Structure 1
C-alpha cells in the first residue's frame, strides 16, 4: 500500500488535465440514458472532458448505496460508460453513503468497496465519494472510533482510494462544501483543516464557493480554501441548478467567475437545470469559459474587449451558445421522426391532398403559417430566465417600467384641457366613432403613455416568442420549456392588462377585478395563497426588498434599562442552550458587560425597541484593558490594536437586520471619535446570528486572542 509521500510524488510527477464538464447531481428525475449519451457528444464537440454521475434520485447511488446493480442495470451502466469513453469523456461514478453509513463498521466499508468494485468491473476508472447534505452527528460507535466527523470521512475515503489502486481521478465532496457551512470561517474550520491535513494528495476536493449557489467566486476565496485544503479544489457549480425551485429555470451565460481562476483550480463541473435540453446554454458557455487562455483569446471568438475579464465575455459566449441552439430548435428532432416512423404502417387518417390542397377563396382567412423562431427570440428567452441572482436586460427593463408605471399612475393626469394622450401621439378629442378605433387611448401624461406603450411592446414580444417557440420543429426542447414559457406568458399578460387598466381602459380593469376570475387569471395553488397572505416574499425577491413589518426605535441606554438588558441576555443564552456555561467557564468581558457587573462607557450604549418593548441592545467600552486584565488573560498586543470592546444581543422577533447594523455602526463611529484605534468583540461559536451581524455590517475579522475558552471566537475591526 502506497504511503502519503509516495502518493504526493505520484501526483506531482505530471500535471493533470483541467477537469471541465457536467455533474448530474440534482434532486429530481434523473436524465435518461439517451440524454446522457447526447451529452457526451456535446461535451466532446465543445471541448469538455468529464461527466460526474451523481443523480440524487438514483436509489443505488444514495439511499440504497449498499445494493449491487442488477444485471439489467449493469447492462445500462456498461453501455453508458462505454459511450462516454467513445467520446473521450471521463466517466466519474459517484456514490453517497453518508445518509446512514457507520464508518467504524468494517462490514459497511466492505460493502462500499464491493459496490465500487462492481462499477470498476463495468469499465469505470474514475470515482467520487460524496458526503454532502447529511447530518453531522456521529453515532456512538463512530464517536468511540474517530475523533471527529472529518476524521471518519477522511479515513474511509483514503482507504477506498487506495483499494481502487489510486485512480487518477478521485473526487471527495466534504460535508462543509462551501464557505457558508464552515464554522466559524474557512480558515478556522477544524473540519476543513482535517481534510487538508489528512486526505491523501491524490484525492481532489469538490467545493461550491462562498455559498451553495454562489453568486460570484473570487480568486481570493479560492486561494483561501486552497491553502487550507492543501490542493486546488474542483468547483461543483450550482449557478444553473434549479432543483430547489420548480418555478425557475436558468438559461443565462456562465459568468461571475473570472478566468484568472482557471490556473488556481483543478477543474469546474456545472450541476445545471433538472431539465436536460434547456441546459444547452449553461454547458456551452462553460465550455467557452474553460477554453479562455491567458492572452485573452479563445478558440471560438475574440473575447473581453468590452468586459472586465479580458479573456471571457459572458455576453459574447451567450450569443455563441444561442446561435448554435437555434439550429437545434429549427431541426426536426428524433422524437418526431420516431412518431412518423411508428405510424407509417398504419392506415393514414386522410389521403395525401397533394395537388388538391386547400386554397382559401376571396375574403376568407388565409392559411395559418407559423413564424420561424429567431435568434432575438432566444435572447429574450434567456433574458426572462437568466440566473439566480439577476435577470437579463429585457427582464430588468420590464420590471423597471412596470414599477415606474405603477408609481406614477395618475400622478400628473390631465384635468383641465380637453386632451387625450395616446401611446402613439398627442391628439385632441375626436368624435366617438374615431375614438373607438384607438384602443390604446389613456388618461395619463405623455411620458406615462409613451412608457406604457414601450412596456406593451415588450409584452407583445414575449407573446410572439411564446408562439414561435410553441411551433418550433424540435419538440423535445419545447416540452422541457413549455411549463416555464406558459407561466411567464401568463404573468406578462396579467401585467399588460393591468397597465392598460391604469391607462383608463375599462375592459382590462373589469377583467382583473372580476369576482369570479378564470383559473389562469391568478397564481394558483396553496403556494399562491400563501404568497398573497404574507406581507412579502422574503429575501428571495430579487427586484424589490420585502416590506418591513415592524417599526424600530434606537435610543440611548439609561440605568432603567439594566433589567431589560439582563433579561434579553439571559433569554438568548437559553435560546442557545448555554444558560449554565457561566458555572463551568470563566465569564467573558462581554458577558459581564451585558449582566451589568461593569457599566458601558458614556454615550456607548444603545437600546432597540419595537411596539412590544425593548428587544435588543448594543454596549461598548472605549477602553477595555482594565476590565480584560481583571477577568481573563488576553494578549497585550491585541488590546493595543483593539482597545475597545462591543457586545450586544437582539431577540429572535427582530427579523430586520438593518437596525442592528445601524447600532453597530453608530457605536463604532462614537468610539472612533473618542480616539480608539480598533474594536473587538467576543462571541461563542453557537451565536451564529450575531456573528453574521458583525461580519455583514462592517469589517470585523477573526483575530487571535489568548486565554479564550475553546468555543469562543474573537473578532476585531480597525477604526
Structure 2
C-alpha cells in the first residue's frame, strides 16, 4: 500500500483493513497485532476505514474512536453501513442518520456512507447526514408526557415527532427534526418527471427462516446516542442529493443495483469506494448471484405503466354483525375538468404518506412509530379475539361489554391503518418520478400484502364465528421460534449487540411471524408485478353477498372449458359443486 501510494504521487488514499470493526479485531482493538502493525507501518497520509463496533453499528461512541485512533496513530474514516440493505432483500432503510453524536466530528477524518442499493430512496439518508455534518451539538430528547425512564410501547428510541423541542439551536442535531425536514424536501423529488430504466427490483422470494439464532435477553444498555436537535435547513441545499459541498457522491455499480457512496470530510475532499457484490457490507468474499438484477432496457413509456382503473381502498367498519367491504369503482369515461383536478389531487402523495412510508422501513435496529403501531395493535386484537367469540356464542341481546366494544373499536382502527397503506401504494403508482417508483414499489407492495392479510384475519375474528379453541395454541403446534413479543427478542433487536441480518425480513417479517399458522412462510412466496400497477386486490373474508358473483365466475369458467355442453335449467350446479363444499 505504501509503494502504490508513493508511486501515485501520494493522492488521497483509502485503506480498508481486514479487521475493520471492533468485533473482528483479534483479540480486541487495543491488543490487535494486525491493527497495531497497520498503525505503525502505514504511511500517515493514508486514511484507514472503520465501521464501528460491528459491521453495522447501532451507536458509535467518542471513547471507541479515541481508543482506535491511538492504535492506528491517526483519526479513522468512518465507513457507515447504517443504511446499507444488501444483506436483506425485504428491507430498505428510510430513517434518519442517528446513533452518532456530533461530538465525533473533530475525532474523524471523514464519514463515508454506504446506503441502500437502490439509488433514489437514499435522499433521507444523505440529507440527514448533511444536516449532521453542519451541527456542533446534540439536542436532548425532551419527553413531556412520559418520564425519562419509561417510554411508550409505540415510541421509538428517539421519541416521537411530537416530542421534538420547539426551540432548537441551528447548530444542534435532532434525528426526528432532521427527518421531518428531509421528508418535506423529498416531496419535490416525487413530482419530478423521471423515466425508469429496466424493470422494478424484484425480491428473491425465499421463505423467512422459521427461527432465528437463540436470543438471550439483553439488559438495558446505556444509549450512546445523545438525543436530538436540529440544524436550520435554510443553509443547506435541500432538493438535490448533493445537499452540501461537504458531500460528494460517487456512483458505483453492483449486480444488486446502483449504489451510492457519500463522502463527508472536514477537508471536503472526495472519498470514493468500489464495492463488489457482497454477503454483508464490506465482506471480502463475493456472494452467490442471489441479489436482484438491474437490466438496462429502452426508455419505458409512462402511459404503459398505469391502468386506467383507480383504486378505492376498502375502509370497511368492523362490527359485531360482520365485515362489509366496498368494491373498487372504475373510473368514469367522461369527466369534467374539476373532477379530473380532484382526482389528480386524490392521487398525489402527501407528507403523511411519506411519513408512513418511512415508518414502515425505518432503520436496522429500530422500527418507526407507525410500524410499531401495526405490531402492537394486531398482537392485541389476536390475543383478545376470544372476547368476540365468547360474546357471539352467547347469542344474547345484552349490549356489548366495554371489553368487546374496545375490541371492535381497535379493529376498526386497524382497518383504517390498513387502508392508509393501500392509499400509499396507490398514490405511489401515480408519482411522476418513475425511477423512484420502481425502486420503492416492490417493498411497499410486499408489506401492503402482508398487512392486508393481517387485516383479513382480524375481520374473520370480528365475525365472531371462530371457536374459542381455535384461538388457543393447540398441542403439537410449532409456532415461529421468536416473534416481536417473545421474551428478550425486542431488547436483542434494539440493542445492536447482534448484527441486523440475524432478524430477517424487517417489519414485514415481524408482521408475518405474528400470523397464527405454522407454515407462515409459504403464504408469501409471490413476486411483485414487473410494472407497477394502480389496480390493487384486497383480501377479505367471503360474504354471503358474494355468492351471485362467485357462481357467475363458476358458470363462465365451465362454459369456456366445455363449449359443447349446456346446463339448461341447472345453472347453479357448477357453483354448488365448486363452492358449497368449501
Q: What TM-score do you get using the length of structure 1 for normalisation?
A: 0.41
Deviation at residue 408 of structure 1 after TM alignment: 2.0
Please say if 1:325 is aligned against 2:186. yes
Please say if 1:240 is aligned against 2:216. no
Deviation at residue 535 of structure 1 after TM alignment: 5.2
SS at match of 2:14: strand
User: Structure 1 residue aligned with 2:425, among 459, 466, 486?
Assistant: 466
Distance 1:306 1:535 in 2: 48
SS at match of 1:206: strand
Deviation at residue 314 of structure 1 after TM alignment: 0.8
Correspondence for 1:316: 177
Correspondence for 1:222: 65
Distance 2:348 2:177 in 1: 23
Please say if 1:265 is aligned against 2:209. no
Structure 2 matches for 1:243-322, cutoff 5 A?
A: 243-294=86-137, 311-322=172-183
Please say if 1:403 is aligned against 2:362. no
Structure index of larger Rg: 1
Structure 2 matches for 1:305-704, cutoff 5 A?
A: 311-334=172-195, 359=334, 369=344, 370-411=346-387, 413-414=390-391, 415=394, 417-419=396-398, 421=400, 445-504=404-463, 536=480, 544=486
Please say if 1:163 is aligned against 2:7. yes
Q: 1:294 to 1:162 in 2, by over 3 A?
A: same
- Superposed CA deviations along residues 391-434 of structure 1, whole A, max 9, x for unmatched, are 00000111111112222222584348524659xxx8xxxxxxxx
Deviation at residue 536 of structure 1 after TM alignment: 3.5
User: Structure 1 residue aligned with 2:51, among 177, 186, 208?
Assistant: 208
Deviation at residue 270 of structure 1 after TM alignment: 0.8
Deviation at residue 342 of structure 1 after TM alignment: 13
Deviation at residue 359 of structure 1 after TM alignment: 2.7
Deviation at residue 234 of structure 1 after TM alignment: 0.7
Distance 1:341 1:456 in 2: 32
SS at match of 1:482: helix
Larger helix share, 1 or 2: 1
SS at match of 1:410: helix
SS at match of 1:478: helix
Distance 2:137 2:447 in 1: 40
Please say if 1:195 is aligned against 2:56. no
2:378/2:414 contact within 8 Å kept: yes
Q: 1:182 to 1:194 in 2, by over 3 A?
A: same
RMSD: 3.8
1:216/1:256 contact within 8 Å kept: yes
1:258/1:309 contact within 8 Å kept: no
Q: 1:476 to 1:365 in 2, by over 3 A?
A: closer
1:197/1:229 contact within 8 Å kept: yes
- Superposed CA deviations along residues 292-341 of structure 1, whole A, max 9, x for unmatched, are 135979xxxxx976899982111111111111111110222255996669
Distance 1:365 1:163 in 2: 65
- Superposed CA deviations along residues 465-504 of structure 1, whole A, max 9, x for unmatched, are 1111111121110001111011010011011111112222
Distance 1:420 1:475 in 2: 52
1:326/1:375 contact within 8 Å kept: yes
Deviation at residue 453 of structure 1 after TM alignment: 1.9
SS at match of 1:269: strand
**What residue ranges of structure 1 are gaps of 5+ in the alignment?**
1-156, 298-302, 344-356, 427-443, 514-532, 548-719
SS at match of 2:18: coil
2:101/2:138 contact within 8 Å kept: no
Structure 2 matches for 1:107-146, cutoff 5 A?
A: none
Distance 1:460 1:235 in 2: 41
2:79/2:113 contact within 8 Å kept: yes
Correspondence for 1:680: none
2:102/2:138 contact within 8 Å kept: no
**What residue ranges of structure 2 are gaps of 5+ in the alignment?**
141-163, 198-297, 305-331, 471-476, 490-582
Distance 2:26 2:361 in 1: 34
- Superposed CA deviations along residues 178-216 of structure 1, whole A, max 9, x for unmatched, are 101112211121111111111111111100001001111
Distance 2:302 2:425 in 1: 29
- Greater relative contact order (Cα < 8 A, sep 6+): 2
Distance 1:265 1:320 in 2: 26
SS at match of 1:174: coil
SS at match of 2:386: coil
Deviation at residue 445 of structure 1 after TM alignment: 1.3
Distance 2:92 2:299 in 1: 28
SS at match of 2:173: coil
Q: 1:177 to 1:537 in 2, by over 3 A?
A: farther
SS at match of 1:445: helix
Q: 1:535 to 1:191 in 2, by over 3 A?
A: farther
User: Structure 2 residue aligned with 1:178, among 21, 24, 44?
Assistant: 21
